[in-house]
Amino acid sequence: MNDNEIYKKYLNKVKLIQKYNELYYNKNLSNISDFEFDEIKKEVLDLEKKYNFLKSKKSPSNSVGFKPSKNFEKVSHRVPMLSLSNAFNEEDLINFEKKIFNFLSYNKTDNIEYSAEPKIDGISASLIYKKGKFIKGLSRGDGKEGEDITENLKTINDIPKLIIAKNFPTEIDIRGEVFIQNNDFKKISEKFANPRNAASGSLRQKDSAITSKIPLKFIAYNYGYSNGIKINTQVEFLDNLKLWGFKINPFNKKIKGVKNLIFNHEYLEKKRKEIEFDIDGIVYKVNNFELQKRLGFAANAPRWAIAHKFLANNSTSEILNIEIQIGRTGALTPVAKIKPVKIGGVIVSNATLHNEDEINRKDIRVGDIATVERAGDVIPHVISVDLNKRKKDSKKFIFPKNCPSCNSKTIKDLNEITKKQDAVRRCISEGYVCEKIAIEKIKHFVSKEAFNIDGFGKKIVENFWQINLVKLPQDIFKLDYEKIKRLDGWGELSASNLKYSIDNKRKIGLEKFIYSLGIRHIGQENAKLIARHLKSSDNFLKLNINKNMNDLVDIDGIGETQIKSIKNFFLNKTNLKVVNELHKILSIKNAKEMKIDGPLKNKTFMLTGKLSNMSRSEAKSLIEQNSGSIASNVSKKLDYLIIGEKPTKKKVNTAKELNIKVLEQADWIKMLNKTS
């Protein structure tokens, strides 16, 4: 290539970076993965090193982020918010440390101490404090100038509004990251592509009342301008942040030596799925502030810090097909079948497209090159498609108006409260007419939370359906075991084991029986409420007589939506047949009377790990029978965490941090005045 061609290539790469920065910082969109963006950035920087004549004010070597939008007032940062250089492997870290040693004229025997801080994938913010009072908050913007988002930041509980600590500086700009925890994101995932977009979109609301409804968090990690700070190291500064009322990353560490940095990186990369928020790497900062001052800055990044990235959480791949999956409640879920691609160390070949509205909003089509993200426990999903790479013969995807399984009409329910249509389209087929719904209903029937039939997994349900062994739930209790013995992969022993498992489940409690039927809007808690109110399976059966539906009106926690759903269930003849036949075949135990004044009264429990000689369901039942209640997560409202074999360490550690009593199973049994 001649100089003109090199310059043209260089400018095209710089324009690409500007385009993606504008989408990322101003429009909360990400059309490529972080890994791909970093690769383009590295290409630009490598070209600049190789050819002296390549220069641009918009190059990543001269700019950070993107200019602030016009929606908010622009404010200059007193100390610029600069970006960091990236490291991707051990060699990059060795070179990083080597440059530090050379700059400081250190010997190989000298040790540099680092503060290793997991890098949260959120939105950077700078909080300006004067005399302990939070007076202004800015976004990163282009690093020199940010947006005034003070009112939105004030809605975040993690940000102290007034600090009275004696050693708090007269003036200081506290830097940190605004983010959303993964569990909180699940509740609002239909509105945003990923947790980072949710945090960014929330902070860019003109109305702070809207922002206040989003569960934003803030973790502090650094400072910009300061007046009156008397701290010598980054680790000491982090400790003081906690004393001043800020939250800091619980996985921060002080580390010496590249080998130990690598070891910690590998540990956190494996652990990142368990962490409540998204992290995309670890930032290493020279711990000593005096050394930081000596090292200073190179171009637009500090010499004393670097970001060691994890394997990409997203990547690009071609959409080979869009398939519609049908759930037990008739919900139609579109799934993109993609060319297998490695994301975060895992091969991904399927990605959810959420619903019809999401496909239309993003204009997703078969043949598109898509960015697919896999973060934490979130199912892989398509973030966006590259319109520049779209094929000329591409056709818009038309969502089916009829069920692909049974050809029944599909509808979107009207939300009675908001008066808006639901995002999910559903097959209107009731009972077991629709094959896909029927199979999913039977899978639900045998699932762990329902009948919990050992050895009767999802694949067996599908196989038995195909060969007409099981078409309705009651067929499970009338299986032809002689035929099963002769099937491929089966034999006398495996058929005998299956028979034993099924026969052991002919007795079931009323609440589990109601839940097993898979009635829409009737989950475990609602099934429990209905069972306690009706008391017997006879009374449940009588609900098919319309006037008896009034029996449900008085149940606290059961509303019109649930009653309407139960009414529709009993209006279907096949459903009635299923319930009546199961009632004859099974022994359905009456709902147990709850002790009002049991030994666990006003106490809240949570279970983790495998219990001895007792299932999790039995333990929960025992707690409730003795007036205790069950919590779904570890919070300050929890009184006791009961641990069995191999408990979840995260839950145990959180409980200890919150001073929640951790009980061994034997200690809990003593509370019940029982023997294990």
Our CA angle for 578, 583, 589, nearest 5°, is: 135
Give kind and range of the element (H or E) at residue 21: helix 3-26
CB 641 within 8 A of CB 634: yes
528 exposure class (CB count in 10 Å sphere: 0-12, 13-18, 19+):
buried
In the numeric block, which tokens belong to residue 533?
A: 């109110």
Residue type, 564: K
Q: Which two tokens stand for residue 324?
A: 């519609």
- The contacts of residue 103 (CB under 8 Å, 6+ apart) are 294, 295, 303
Residues composing the chain: 676
Does 119 participate in catalysis according to the annotation? yes
Please report, as a single letter, which amino acid is at residue 119.
K
- List the catalytic residue out of 13, 41, 119, 651: 119
What φ, ψ does residue 180 adopt, rounded to 5°? -125, 135
**In DSSP terms, which residues pair with 307 in a beta bridge?**
86, 283
Q: What angle do CA 509, 514, 519 make, to 5 degrees?
A: 160
Q: In degrees, to the nearest 5, what angle opens at C-alpha 301 toward C-alphas 298 and 307?
A: 130
- Residue 669 corresponds to which tokens in the numbers above? 């049994």
DSSP helix, strand, coil percent of the chain (3-state; round to 5):
35, 25, 40
Rounded to whole angstroms, how far apart are CA atoms 214 and 662?
A: 31
| Token code pair at residue 584 | 């004859």
Structure tokens given for 162: 């007034």
71's tokens: 């929606």
Q: How far, in Å, are 33, 359, 439, 459 from residue 474 at the CA level?
A: 49, 39, 13, 18
> Are the beta carbons of 148 and 199 closer than 8 angstroms?
no
Task: Estimate the crossing angle of helix 3-26 against helix 34-50, to 10 degrees.
Answer: 150
Q: Which two tokens stand for residue 198?
A: 């949710």
Distance CA 566, CA 46 (A): 65
Residue ranges of alpha helices (H) inside 302-448 are: 356-362, 435-446
Q: In sequence order, which ranges of 381-447 are alpha helices (DSSP H)?
A: 435-446
Which residues does the annotation mark as catalytic? 119
